[in-house]
Amino acid sequence: MNATVVRARRQTTLPADICEAAGIGIDDQVDWRFEGGEIRGRKLNPEMPVEIGLEDVSPGGILPRGWKINAADIAAAIREERES
């Protein structure tokens, strides 16, 4: 089991073996969601451009330059993940 602590600012450290297995490195982004009583995260691929408006980005929510996210792409990604 890989247990971590959530700090006062809702920060935690991902275990090294989890990062290695998922291919997560420094400055990579992880998409998080709560589903079926579980917290799930997946690495976002920078070569998958999606659209987003600035009004949709939360304060501190930083995307790599040139990335755009739209609701249809998010919904499609969630459907794809649920089907797998």
Q: Rounded distance, CA 9 to CA 2, Å? A: 20
pLDDT at 34 (0 to 100): 92
pTM of the model: 0.50
pLDDT at 78 (0 to 100): 84
| 26: containing domain | 16-83
pLDDT at 15 (0 to 100): 93
Q: What is the pLDDT of residues 35-54, one digit of tens each?
A: 899 999 988 876 655 555 55
| Residue 10 belongs to a domain | no
- Contact of 22 with 43, CB cutoff 8 Å: yes
| Residue 4 belongs to a domain | no
Residue 30's DSSP bridge partners are: 43
Q: Rounded distance, CA 3 to CA 25, Å? A: 19
Domain count, the chain: 1
Q: What is the pLDDT of residues 3-38, one digit of tens each?
A: 999 999 999 999 999 999 999 998 888 989 998 999
